[in-house]
Structure 1
Amino acid sequence: MGTHPASPEQVDVRRLMSTAARRAVDFGSVLATTTADNPDLDWLGIALTELATAYVHTPAVDLLVRIVDVRDTAFTLIRRGVRPRQLRDAYVVAGIGCLLLASASQNLGDHASARTQLHTAERCAEAADSDALRVWARGSAALALEWSSTPAAALRFLDSAPREAVGPQTMRRTVALEARASARTGNATRARDALRRLDVLEALPEQDDEVNAFGGIFTFPRAKETYYRAGTHDLLGDAALARRNADTALAAYAAAPEQERSYGDVALARIVLTHSHLLDRDLDAAASALQPLRRLRPAERIAQLPSAVHRTRGLLTAVAGARRAHELLDDLLAAPPPLRSLDSRSESTAP
């Protein structure tokens, strides 16, 4: 088990993310040269499975120290050396840790660190020759770019991601990302084609690949897929289909066990629901759909939320004028509060 330092040190979250990203850069040139046994690898996999599950329903800031600890332990094992039969697994574990840190960095608004983690995750995928990790790394890069100022770049990452030798959930995630990114860039034809291909994939029997096996954030459940469909229809201007899918996704998350309720997906699905009401010029329903967002804790207000609300402001201004948009949205558009410091004594899941 991990040990706690004798004297606690307060760690600033942004500094921690930046430091973790620099370590990811350093790690890129490392090659294992020894063949020592290390039984800790299985425990690292278990720790990442626990963290991947917790990540769905726990604010990223509360898990960050533990994720960094586990990922860095995987780096250390590879530097120190593991036997050839374990080396591939070590690279997969390190890559999964980088993907978790990429998602955390993105949700906390540190986009540069997110991109660094994604780059190292893809290098781990190449070292392990893991198609599943490769597709997830490129899909996660596309997800980050979709929310950036250059969303068209997301499609380049998806176009180059291999589609074979991965599980149905990973395939559905990739196609759902393609649909929404295409809609966001104004390519309605490609978006609708991707939605049709997503329908076809529904018939495939469920079978995990080696990334899905970590569970939690590395799965693509029906509720999340429906939320992606809602977002795609929203961007295409299909109000009725956007509302139907958003309502279905929200109902599915509400009925799911707590550990499967993605607070980020739920918040963004409510934005989609708001847009569908605005497209129908129903201001009361739109205001009602927004109300639960005001009850989010600061740590649950992911960085993507203000970006989504900016589009809401444009729609609301067109329907009701700038003054009404100001009244309904300014508190949701406010910059998130500074990230709190974390105590480096936070419990570690690394062995």
Structure 2
Amino acid sequence: MSRAERRAKITPGGRARGARLRDERERRGWGRRELARLLLDTIDERQKPSHVTVASHIKEWEEGGGISAMYRAAYATVFGIPEDELFVPAQALHGEPACDDELEALELTRRVAATDVGDETLTALEMAVDDLASAYPRTPPAELLARTRRHLGYVSRLMDARMTLAERRRLVIVGGWLSLLAATCDIDLGRRPAAAARLRTAAQLAEHADHPEILAWTLETQAWQTLIDGDYRKAITLSRGAQEIAPRSSSAFIQATAQEGRAWARLGAGPETRDALARVERLVAPLSMPDRPEHHYRYDPAKSDAYTATTLSWLGDPAAEPYARGVLARLEAPSSGPARPRRAASARLDLALALLAADQPDEAAHTALQAVTSGRLVPSNYWRAAEVIGAVEARSVRGVADLRDAYHELCSPAEHDPGEA
């Protein structure tokens, strides 16, 4: 049967099923080639087709084509969703999943309080913001973005409800934090127009609620995106703007200072970089470990160490190598709290760059390969991997072909090719 004939046989139910499969893949931030590799890992060697074949099939399945029992089981394993739930009848596949436990719980809280919007509902929403921000280091950005968007939709619906001025301010602040987090996920995924729109919304809500910390975070987040884009002078300007707005004791003030240091490092400005690092060190010194150190908007000593390692490696400082090794060890085997695999993947890129500066290109290539194949890098970090690959290739290091192949396989080379770094 030709491809045209197969497409002609696609039913509305098949299209809905394909849309669900595509949405689940995109929520996890996976390309079709990465999903093909994961599906193949679950299939018996005797039945295993080629990687190219499966990648081609994925496109057909997402358009609504029929899918065999073997691949249904593979999908269920890879997505971590029971097969009878993933391949449900077509009428259940439109829009969001029929049951969203998080939002059901919030709505139940609101109804039990017998008010349109009361303290119980707002407290539950504020706790949800903390949960989502704490999930950021360990959750694929597409998945976290989907959850955050659903909460934003719920907040938007509540805006029309009756409430006091104090309650409305709390709800606006929740909307500001959620918009900021959604923008951060958008940047991780390379969705620049969406990120810019959400940052504008977060800033408007922050101004409406008179909340300088959220407003400062919007500028710091813009500085981060601008740094990724290579406009280091603008990143410095935005970072300093965030510092002017942020409360002096806030995490936003510390993060903006650290971001300024990273931008100076990209410019090779040693004195300015070290001045920023010294300011961060003074700000972090009196801090105790927060109760949720994984919270994206709460600064902690481990985050400071990771930023220092990045900054020193970009500056080419000889201290970068031992510092980056120490940071990586602490992230993978912390003395308290959970391991932080996403930060560890970024720390490996820092270490790889430091190893290049220390004239150890073979270990740099191996370390970069570990980062690329970890499954923890997000698109906003691909350029850093590309930078290391370009430097390793210039040294004609053994194994660089494997590193480049892994990068092309896993890191969307169409948008971030090492040759352009």
Shorter-chain TM-score range: 0.7 to 0.9
Kindly state the Cα deviation for residue 164 of structure 1 after the two structures are TM-superposed: 5.2
Letter in 2 for 1:38: V
**Distance between the aligned counterparts of 1:199 and 1:214, measured in 2?**
17
Q: Is the 8 A contact 1:54 1:259 kept in 2?
A: no
Q: Is the 8 A contact 1:183 1:191 kept in 2?
A: yes
**Distance between the aligned counterparts of 2:378 and 2:360, measured in 1?**
27
Query: Percent sequence identity over matched residues?
Result: 25
Counterpart of 1:87 in structure 2 is 168
Structural mapping, 1:153-164, within 5 Å: 153-161=234-242, 162=244
**Distance between the aligned counterparts of 2:330 and 2:370, measured in 1?**
17
Counterpart of 1:190 in structure 2 is 272
Q: Pick closer, same or farther for the CA change 1:45–1:12 going to 2, 3 Å.
A: same
Q: Pick closer, same or farther for the CA change 1:197–1:301 going to 2, 3 Å.
A: closer
**Match 1:269 to one of 323, 327, 347:** 347
**Distance between the aligned counterparts of 2:362 and 2:332, measured in 1?**
23
| Long gaps (5+) in structure 2 | 1-15, 28-114, 414-421
Q: Pick closer, same or farther for the CA change 1:215–1:277 going to 2, 3 Å.
A: closer
Structural mapping, 1:222-301, within 5 Å: 222-238=301-317, 240-256=318-334, 260-297=338-375, 300-301=376-377
Counterpart of 1:140 in structure 2 is 221
Kindly state the Cα deviation for residue 127 of structure 1 after the two structures are TM-superposed: 0.9
Return the index of the structure with the highest Cα Rg.
Answer: 2
Q: Pick closer, same or farther for the CA change 1:241–1:207 going to 2, 3 Å.
A: closer
**Match 2:379 to one of 294, 297, 303:** 303
Counterpart of 1:219 in structure 2 is 298
TM-score (norm 1): 0.77
Counterpart of 2:3 in structure 1 is none
TM-score (norm 2): 0.65
Deviations 1:270-301 (A, max 9, x none): 0111111112221332133224224423xx33
Deviations 1:292-351 (A, max 9, x none): 224423xx3300232002211332233337x8644433422456469xxxxxxxxxxxxx
Q: Pick closer, same or farther for the CA change 1:110–1:93 going to 2, 3 Å.
A: same
Say yes or no: does 1:54 pair with 2:151. no
Letter in 2 for 1:254: E
What is the DSSP-based 3-state SS (H/G/I as helix, E as strand, rest coil) of the residue aligned with 2:229?
coil
**Which one is further off, 131-140 or 215-224?**
215-224
Q: Is the 8 A contact 2:365 2:392 kept in 1?
A: no
Q: Pick closer, same or farther for the CA change 1:271–1:214 going to 2, 3 Å.
A: closer
Counterpart of 2:188 in structure 1 is 107
**Distance between the aligned counterparts of 2:405 and 2:127, measured in 1?**
43
What is the DSSP-based 3-state SS (H/G/I as helix, E as strand, rest coil) of the residue aligned with 1:301?
coil
Counterpart of 1:125 in structure 2 is 206
How many equivalent pairs are there? 308
Say yes or no: does 1:68 pair with 2:149. yes
Q: Pick closer, same or farther for the CA change 1:273–1:49 going to 2, 3 Å.
A: same
Q: Pick closer, same or farther for the CA change 1:153–1:262 going to 2, 3 Å.
A: farther
Letter in 2 for 1:332: Y
**Distance between the aligned counterparts of 1:181 and 1:41, measured in 2?**
38
**Distance between the aligned counterparts of 2:246 and 2:386, measured in 1?**
37
**Distance between the aligned counterparts of 2:314 and 2:132, measured in 1?**
32
| Long gaps (5+) in structure 1 | 1-6, 17-35, 339-351
Q: Pick closer, same or farther for the CA change 1:123–1:163 going to 2, 3 Å.
A: closer
Structural mapping, 1:39-50, within 5 Å: 39=118, 40-50=121-131
Deviations 1:241-291 (A, max 9, x none): 212221222122112389754433221210111111112221332133224
What is the DSSP-based 3-state SS (H/G/I as helix, E as strand, rest coil) of the residue aligned with 2:169?
helix
**Distance between the aligned counterparts of 2:380 and 2:344, measured in 1?**
12
**Match 2:257 to one of 175, 178, 197:** 175
Superposed CA RMSD? 3.2
Q: Is the 8 A contact 1:273 1:286 kept in 2?
A: yes
What is the DSSP-based 3-state SS (H/G/I as helix, E as strand, rest coil) of the residue aligned with 1:177?
helix
